[in-house]
Amino acid sequence: MEAFVIRGGKRLEGTLRVDGAKNAVLPILAASILTEDKVTLEDVPQITDAAHMAEILEILGCRVTRSGRVLTVDSGNLSQWEMPDRLSKQIRSSIFLLGPILSRFRKATVTYPGGCEIGLRPIDLHLRGLRRLGVVVTEEGGLIHCDGSRMRPGDVYFDYPSVGATENVMMAAVLLDGVTTIHNAAREPEIVDLQNFINAMGGHVRGAGSHAIEITGVKHLRGVIWTPVPDRIVAGTLLAAAAITGGEIELTHAPGGDMVAVLSKLREMGCDIREEEARLCLRAPARLTAFAQLQTQPHPGFPTDMQVQMLALLAVAEGTGIIVENVFENRFTHAGDLNRMGANILCSGRTAVVRGVEQLYGARVTARDLRGGAALVLAGLRAQGETQVDQACLIDRGYDHLEDQLGALGADIRRTAL
């Protein structure tokens, strides 16, 4: 087990390039098995979720190789339709493989996926969507058995615009003979990237980024070389790191157009942000000003994956602000750790009221999920004294050596074994 140790008080400044997006890489890795040709992904970050997904693909029979930031998948010898239990429980995005496996074998057996404990995140929307495509789903002993022998295109309506369910149905429908339409689809930019990836392989998908996605089935797909979109959550976290320390940062390969909600809140807190093509420059005041209210929403609303980072910023801002979490029910689990560091946060249900304090103080705290762990690191950057954030492995799920990135900006941060 490892931890991050941070000595706060350093003003961050410098230039960084934003990595490829975790939430784009994972479904694209899953979609790579839709073709028997080789698929090459460039700019794949060194994160454990990507490593676990690659390991799952290898167990299923794929040949996966990595050279630096380039990852190649050859699924020509794909032979298994049963997902490995241990790895599936470690990575939530393993559920993305359900649709592609059904496309290849017309059957699949998966276990309930794991990941961060930020809420129930039921997969009923995934299964309901697949049932609309003629898949027979049975659940037994913690396993989900899917019979796709009678799969067909169809109309799929989601009660809630689930990102994962939208992507899963997209992938399941790509090789079906006919037209499938997803209504009330999620609109995240990573879904647009998945559409563009599938189309580069010869698929016919349109409408991603809107509430309706239309998939016209094709007989086969070909291999492709693809570069996923940059990670808007990593970019937002790095901007927040500069903001909480009163710093100045320049991000290249930055998806500013997909970050309107986040940039708006940072500006509301007093940050000067300049947007250029694929470039973001932020200059923060010595002390941030509290925004009145923030509510998480599906894209293009404020992303839930940036909520807890903004909670950390609000903790040291001048004034009082309110955060309402509308997506996951357990996204304030790190408020207690922030309060241990001197913050004044009162949580009730899905609402947090934050009265900003002038100073946080170092403490030993524990990451309980990916984004919450990153938020504790941000708090440590601002805190007086030394902060130790245990369970660094959870942060590694979505950040490529976060200590190196922050260290390059002047942070006093190191990784240590416990």
Query: In this predicted structure, what is the pLDDT of residue 93?
Result: 64
- CATH number attached to the domain at 22-226: 3.65.10.10
List all residues 6 or more positions away from 407 whose beta carbon is below 8 Å from its beta carbon: 413, 414
How many angstroms separate the CA atoms of 75 and 64, rounded? 8
- pLDDT by residue (tens digit) across 2-33? 999 999 999 999 999 999 999 999 999 999 99
The overall average pLDDT reported for the chain is 94
- CATH number attached to the domain at 2-19+230-417: 3.65.10.10
Query: In this predicted structure, what is the pLDDT of residue 86?
Result: 64
43 pLDDT higher than 50: yes
- pLDDT by residue (tens digit) across 354-412? 999 999 999 999 999 999 999 999 999 999 999 999 999 999 999 999 999 999 999 99
Asked whether the domain spanning 22-226 has the same topology as the one spanning 2-19+230-417, the reply is: yes
121 confidence band (pLDDT: 50, 70, 90)? very low
Query: In this predicted structure, what is the pLDDT of residue 380?
Result: 98
Quote the tokens at residue 409: 């900006």
120 pLDDT higher than 80: no
- pLDDT by residue (tens digit) across 233-261? 999 999 999 999 999 999 999 999 999 99
Q: Mean per-residue pLDDT for 119-124? A: 59
Can you spell out the DSSP letters for 157-208? E-SS--HHHHHHHHHHHTTSSSEEEEES----HHHHHHHHHHHHTT-EEE-B
Query: In this predicted structure, what is the pLDDT of residue 285?
Result: 98
Percent of the chain with pLDDT strictly greater than 90: 87
8 A C-beta contact, residue 390 and residue 366: yes
Quote the tokens at residue 233: 């959550």
Query: In this predicted structure, what is the pLDDT of residue 305?
Result: 96
All structural domains of the chain with their residue ranges: 2-19+230-417, 22-226
Q: Mean per-residue pLDDT for 185-205? A: 98
Q: Where does residue 401 rank: exposed (0-12), middle (13-18), buried (19+ CB within 10 A)? A: middle
Q: Just list the catalytic residues.
A: 116
Q: Where does residue 141 rank: exposed (0-12), middle (13-18), buried (19+ CB within 10 A)? A: exposed
In the chain, the amino acid numbered 413 is I
How many angstroms separate the CA atoms of 328 and 53, rounded? 24
- pLDDT by residue (tens digit) across 45-99? 999 999 989 998 998 999 999 999 999 999 999 988 887 666 556 556 678 889 9
Query: In this predicted structure, what is the pLDDT of residue 118?
Result: 35
Q: Mean per-residue pLDDT for 89-110? A: 82
343 pLDDT higher than 90: yes
How many angstroms separate the CA atoms of 350 and 77, rounded? 47
313 pLDDT higher than 60: yes
How many angstroms separate the CA atoms of 102 and 130, rounded? 10
Single pTM value for the model: 0.95
